[in-house]
Amino acid sequence: MSATQSRINDFVLKIATVNGTGSASANNLLMKALFRMGIPVTGKNLFPSNIQGLPTWYEIRASKDGYLSRSGRVDVMVAMNAQTYRQDLEEVSPGGYLIYDSTWPRDKLLARDDITVVGIPLAKMANEHFKVARVRILMKNIAYVGALCALMDIDLKIVRRLLEETFAAKPKLIDSNLQAIKLGHDYARMNVQCPLPARAEPMQATGSSFLIDGNSAAALGCVYAGATVGAWYPITPSTSLMDGFKKYCEKFRRDPDSDPDSGTNNFCIIQAEDELAAAGMVLGANWAGARAFTPTSGPGISLMSEFIGFAYYAEIPSVFFDIQRVGPSTGMPTRTQQCDVLMAAYASHGDTRHPVLFPADPEDCFYMAVQAFDLSDRLQTPIFVLSDLDIGMNDWMCPELEWDDSYRPDRGKVLDADALEKMEKFHRYLDRDGDGIAARTLPGVSAKGAYFTRGSGHNRYGGYTEDADEYQDVVDRLLVKWETAKELVPAPVLTAADQHTDIGIIAFGGSDGAVREALDRLRDTGIHVNYLRLQAFPFNAEVQQFLDAHQSVFVVEQNRDAQMKSLLILETDVDRDKLISILHYNGLPIPSDCVVEGLSSHVAKEAVA
Partner 1 sequence: MTWIAKPNVNFPGQTKNELGLSLRDYEGVTSTLCAGCGHDSITAAIVQAFWELAVRPEQVIKMSGIGCSSKTPAYFLSGAHGFNSVHGRMPSVATGALAANRDMVCVAVSGDGDSLSIGFGQFGHVVRRNLNMLYIIENNGVYGLTKGQFSASADPGSKAKKGEENRMQAIDPVATAITLGGSFVARSFSGDKEQLVPLIKAGLSHNGCAVLDVISPCVTFNDHDGSTKSYAHTRQHYHPAIHTDFVPPSEEIKARYDEGASLPIELHDGSTIVLKKVDKDYDPSNRVQAIGYLEDYRARGEIVTGLLYIDEQLEDMHQLSNTVAEPLSRAAYEDLNPGRDALKKLQETLR
Coil/strand/helix, residue 504 = strand
- Window 7 to 36, contacts with partner 1 (CB under 8 A): 35-36
Give the nearest distance from C-beta 405 to partner 1 in angstroms: 5
Which residue, 171 or 444, has its beta carbon nearer to partner 1? 444
Task: Return the number of the residue (53 or 207) whose C-beta is nearest partner 1.
Answer: 207
- As a whole number of angstroms, the distance between CA 544 and CA 573 comes to 7
CB nearer partner 1, residue 302 or residue 465: 465
Sole binder of partner 1 in the list 15, 282, 341, 489 (CB under 8 A) = 282
One of 103, 191, 465, 586 touching partner 1 (CB under 8 A): 465
Structural contact between residues 518 and 70, judged by C-beta atoms closer than 8 angstroms: no
By beta-carbon proximity to partner 1, the closer residue of 54 and 268 is: 268
Nearer to partner 1, 119 or 455 (CB): 455
| 409 is an interface residue for partner 1 by CB under 8 A | yes
Q: Is 60 in the site for partner 1 (CB under 8 A)?
A: no
Separation CA 126–CA 183 (nearest Å)? 8
Three-state secondary structure call for residue 302: helix
Report in angstroms how near the CB of residue 233 gets to partner 1 at its nearest.
11
Residue of 9, 459, 530, 558 interacting with partner 1 (CB under 8 A):
459
List 59's β-bridge partners, or say none. Answer: 14, 44
The one among 108, 172, 349, 408 contacting partner 1 by CB under 8 A: 408
CB of 203 to partner 1, least distance (A): 15
Q: How far apart are CA 395 and CA 59, in angstroms?
A: 11
Region 283-302 residues binding partner 1, contact defined as CB under 8 A: 283-290, 292
State in angstroms the smallest separation of the CB of 540 from partner 1.
Answer: 29
C-beta of 194 vs 276, nearer to partner 1: 276
- Measured on CA atoms in the order 185, 188, 190, 195, is the torsion positive or negative? negative
**Which residue, 131 or 251, has its beta carbon nearer to partner 1?**
251
Task: Give the interface segment with partner 1, choosing from 16-24, 276-284, 330-338, 564-572 (CB under 8 A).
Answer: 276-284
Given 302, 453, 572, 600, the residue binding partner 1 (CB under 8 A):
453
Sequence letter at residue 403: W
**Candidate residues 135, 203, 205, 442; the one interacting with partner 1 per rule CB under 8 A:** 442
Per CB under 8 A, contacts with partner 1 among 193-212 are 209-212
Handedness of CA 66, 72, 73, 77 (dihedral sign): positive
Q: With contacts defined by CB under 8 A, how many residues of the chain interact with partner 1?
A: 83
Residues 6+ apart with CB under 8 A from 60: 12, 13, 14, 15, 27, 30, 31, 34, 41, 42, 43
- 456 part of the interface to partner 1, by CB under 8 A: yes
Q: Does the CA dihedral 222-224-227-229 come out positive or negative?
A: positive
Closer of 104 and 403 to partner 1 (Cβ): 403
Residues between 248 and 267 that touch partner 1 (CB under 8 A): 248, 251-253, 255, 258-259, 261-267
Which residues on adjacent β-strands are paired with residue 97?
76, 116
**Is 313 a residue that touches partner 1 (CB under 8 A)?**
no
Residues numbered 494-533 forming contacts with partner 1, rule: CB under 8 A = none
Binder of partner 1 out of 194, 243, 451, 578 (CB under 8 A):
451
Among 401, 430, 480, 488, binds partner 1 (CB under 8 A): 401
Q: Rule CB under 8 A: is residue 76 a binding residue for partner 1?
A: no
Residues in CB range of 576: below 8 A, 6 or more apart: 569
The residue among 270, 267, 274 whose CA lies nearest residue 296 is 274
DSSP class per residue in 99-161: EEETTS---TT---SSSEEEEE-HHHHHHHH--SHHHHHHHHHHHHHHHHHHHHT--HHHHHH
- Are the C-beta atoms of residues 159 and 181 closer than 8 Å to each other? yes
Looking at the Cβ atoms of 400 and 573, the one nearer to partner 1 is 400
Q: Are 39 and 203 in contact (CB under 8 A)?
A: yes
8 A C-beta contact, residue 416 and residue 359: no
Q: Which is nearer to partner 1, 94 or 207 (CB)?
A: 207
Shortest spacing between CB 269 and partner 1, in angstroms: 7
Binding window for partner 1 (CB under 8 A); candidates: 86-94, 140-148, 225-233, 506-514: 225-233
Nearer to partner 1, 310 or 358 (CB): 310
Residue closer to partner 1, measured from CB, 333 or 457: 457
Strands 579-583 and 552-557, by their bridges, are parallel
Taking CB under 8 A as the rule, does residue 400 contact partner 1?
A: yes
Residues 6+ apart with CB under 8 A from 469: none
Q: Which residues have C-beta within 8 Å of that of residue 131, sequence separation ≥ 6?
A: none
DSSP state of 22: S
Q: Cα torsion at 487, 230, 282, 344 (round to 10°)?
A: 50
